[in-house]
C-alpha cells in the first residue's frame, strides 16, 4: 500500500500513488479473470478497511454506514458545515476492471490528502463516499448505497435473496452492519450542497477525440427486467420437435427480439446479460428459462416505449410457442440531467488545468441517478483505453489519472455553492 504523501508538496502529482492504490484495491477480488467484488462480501469488507485507512491518512474521519458505504468527512472551516459530497462505488461487475467506480473513490481522497497536507480548509465540508453497491450484481438491485443516502432505499429489498438464497438483511449482518438502521442514513437537502462523481468514460468518445477529460451532461435512464419462461421439460430423444414446449428456445427467440428492436431505434441499447435453464441436462428439453433484459436510452419516453414493445413481442412469441411468461421489473431509473451550474464549474476546472471543455453524455448508469433526488449532480469522465469497460481489459494511463486529480482539485478549491436566494 502506498504511504501518505509528503507534507506540503509544492506540486500535486498523485498519478503514481493513484495507480498503486487502484492496483491494491483490485486485489480484493473473488478470483478468476479481472475484478469481482460484490456487495456485502469479504472482498467488500477488505476494500472498506483499506479505503477507511486512506481516508484517515488524508485527515478525514471515516466509518462504514449501515448499508455498507464507506463515508469519510473532511470538516470545513465551521463545524457541521454543509458538504460537497463526492463519491463513486467500491463494487464491480463480475470479471470487471480496476477503474469503474474505484477511480472516483481514490482520486478525491488524494485531493483531500493534499488539502490536509497544505492546511487548506473550505467554508464547506467535503464528504467522500465509496458507495456499497452500484452494479447490483449480487441482489439484482442497483444503487443501494446512494439510495440509502438519498432516502429512497426500499426496505423491502432487504428480503431479496442472492443465488445462494442468502437474504440481503442477513448478508449485511454477516458483513457487520445493522440493516434496520438504513433509514437513518438519509441526508437532508440542506446538509448537501451538491454531488460530484469522477468516473472512467466506459466509451470511446474521449479517446477518439484525443482528450483526457470531459464534463458529463446527462446520464441515460435504464430499465432492468427479469423474465421467466415456463414450458414443459421432457426427453430429448423421444419428444418430436413439433410437440415440444421448450422454454430455452422461446428465450432464445426473445433475446433476438431484444436485439432486433433495440438495433432499429437510434439512441436505444438493449442487452440480455444473464440466462439460466432448468433442469439443465444435455438430454432434457428445458422446462424453464430465466433471463435478464437491460434497456437504456438518453430519452426516457423512447426507453419506456421500447420496454412496452419488447415485452409485448415476447408475450406474443411465448403464446405462439405455448409457453408461459412472467416479466418483473427489477430496476428502473429515469435519466438524470447534470446541473448546468456544476457543468460550468467543472468546465472552468478543465480550462484552468489546460484541457478543452468537452461535454459528453453517459450511457452507463451512476450513483448520481439516486443522489439527484436530494441534490444537484455533476460528473467528470476520464478517458479509458478503447472505451473498454465491464471487462478485465479496462485500462487508463497514469498521466490521465494525474490529470483527472488535478482537475478535481481545482474544482473543489474553486467550488461555489449555488446561491438559491
272 lies in the binding site for ligand GLV (CB under 6 A): no
Contact 418, 341 (CB under 8 A): yes
Residues 360-419 that bind ligand GLV (CB under 6 A): 364-365
CB of 172 to ligand GLV, least distance (A): 21
Beta bridge partners of 235: 284
**Helix ranges (DSSP H) in 91-204:** 103-117, 144-150, 168-175
The pattern of x and - marking residues 226 through 265 that bind ligand GLV according to CB under 6 A reads ----------------------------------------
Which H or E element spans position 234?
strand 234-235
Considering CB under 6 A, how many residues would be counted as binding ligand GLV?
Answer: 3
Nearer to Mn ion among residue 147 and residue 245 (C-beta):
147
Bridge partners (DSSP) of residue 290 are 228, 276
Q: Is 201 in the site for ligand GLV (CB under 6 A)?
A: no
Distance CA 336, CA 199 (A): 16
Place of cell 421467466: 228
Q: Does 104 bind ligand GLV (CB under 6 A)?
A: no
**Residues binding Mn ion: number (CB under 5 A):** 2
Residue nearest to Mn ion (CB): 100
Nearer to ligand GLV, 253 or 337 (CB): 337
Query: In whole angstroms, how close is the CB of 152 to ligand GLV at the nearest point?
Result: 18
Element (H, E) at 230: strand 221-230
Binding ligand GLV (rule: CB under 6 A), the pick from 57, 91, 135, 376 is 135
Is residue 113 at the binding interface for ligand GLV, with CB under 6 A as the rule?
A: no
Query: To the nearest whole angstrom, how small is the minimum distance from the Cβ of residue 252 to Mn ion?
Result: 27
Compute the chain's Rg from CA coordinates.
Answer: 23
Query: According to the binding rule CB under 5 A, does residue 145 interact with Mn ion?
Result: no
Count helices and strands (H / E) in the chain: 11, 16
Under the criterion CB under 6 A, does residue 87 sit at the interface with ligand GLV? no
DSSP 255-324: HHHHHHHHHTSTTEEEE---EEEES--TTEE-SEEEEEEEEEESSHHHHHHHHHHHHHHHHHHHHHTT-E
For residue 365, the partner it binds in Mn ion, ligand GLV, none, with Cβ less than 5 to 8 A by kind, is: ligand GLV
Using CB under 5 A as the criterion, which residues of the chain lie in contact with Mn ion when the complex forms?
Answer: 100-101
Residues engaged in binding ligand GLV (CB under 6 A): 135, 364-365
Amino acid at each position: 500500500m502506498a504511504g501518505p504523501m509528503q507534507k506540503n508538496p509544492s506540486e500535486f502529482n498523485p498519478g503514481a500513488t493513484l495507480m498503486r492504490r487502484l492496483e491494491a484495491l483490485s486485489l480484493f477480488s473473488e478470483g478468476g479473470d479481472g475484478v469481482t467484488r460484490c456487495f456485502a462480501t469479504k472482498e467488500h469488507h477488505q476494500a472498506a478497511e483499506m479505503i477507511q485507512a486512506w481516508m484517515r491518512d488524508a485527515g478525514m474521519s471515516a466509518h462504514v454506514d449501515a448499508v455498507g458505504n464507506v463515508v469519510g468527512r473532511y470538516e470545513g472551516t465551521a463545524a457541521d458545515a454543509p458538504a460537497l459530497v463526492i463519491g463513486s462505488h467500491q463494487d464491480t461487475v463480475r470479471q470487471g476492471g480496476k477503474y469503474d467506480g474505484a477511480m472516483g473513490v481514490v482520486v478525491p481522497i488524494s485531493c483531500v490528502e493534499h488539502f490536509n497536507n497544505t492546511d487548506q480548509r473550505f467554508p464547506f465540508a467535503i464528504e467522500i463516499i465509496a458507495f456499497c453497491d452500484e452494479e447490483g450484481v449480487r441482489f439484482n438491485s442497483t444503487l443501494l448505497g446512494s439510495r440509502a443516502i438519498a432516502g429512497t432505499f426500499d426496505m423491502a429489498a432487504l428480503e431479496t435473496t442472492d443465488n445462494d438464497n442468502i437474504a440481503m438483511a442477513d448478508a449485511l449482518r454477516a458483513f457487520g452492519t445493522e440493516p434496520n438502521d438504513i433509514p437513518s442514513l438519509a441526508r437532508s437537502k440542506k446538509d448537501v450542497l451538491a454531488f460530484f462523481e469522477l468516473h472512467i468514460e466506459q466509451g470511446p468518445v474521449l479517446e477518439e477525440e484525443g482528450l483526457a477529460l470531459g464534463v458529463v451532461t446527462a446520464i441515460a435512464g435504464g430499465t432492468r427486467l427479469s423474465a421467466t419462461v415456463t414450458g414443459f421439460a421432457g426427453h430429448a430423444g423421444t419428444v418430436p420437435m413439433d410437440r415440444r414446449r421448450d422454454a430455452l428456445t422461446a428465450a432464445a427467440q426473445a433475446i433476438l427480439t431484444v436485439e432486433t428492436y433495440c438495433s432499429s431505434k437510434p439512441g436505444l441499447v438493449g442487452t440480455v446479460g444473464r440466462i439460466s435453464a432448468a433442469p439443465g441436462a444435455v438430454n432434457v428439453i428445458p422446462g424453464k428459462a430465466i433471463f435478464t433484459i437491460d434497456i437504456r436510452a438518453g430519452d426516457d419516453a423512447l426507453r419506456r416505449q421500447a420496454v412496452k414493445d419488447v415485452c409485448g413481442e415476447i408475450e406474443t412469441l411465448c403464446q405462439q410457442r405455448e409457453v408461459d411468461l412472467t416479466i418483473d421489473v427489477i430496476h428502473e431509473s429515469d435519466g438524470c440531467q447534470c446541473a448546468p451550474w456544476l457543468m460550468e464549474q467543472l468546465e472552468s476546472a478543465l480550462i484552468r488545468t489546460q484541457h478543452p471543455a468537452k461535454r459528453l453524455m453517459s450511457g452507463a448508469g451512476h450513483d448520481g441517478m439516486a443522489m439527484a433526488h436530494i441534490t444537484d449532480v455533476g460528473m467528470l469522465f476520464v478517458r479509458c483505453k478503447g472505451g473498454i469497460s465491464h471487462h478485465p481489459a479496462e485500462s487508463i494511463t497514469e498521466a490521465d489519472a494525474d490529470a483527472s486529480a488535478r482537475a478535481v482539485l481545482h474544482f473543489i478549491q474553486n467550488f461555489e455553492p449555488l446561491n438559491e436566494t
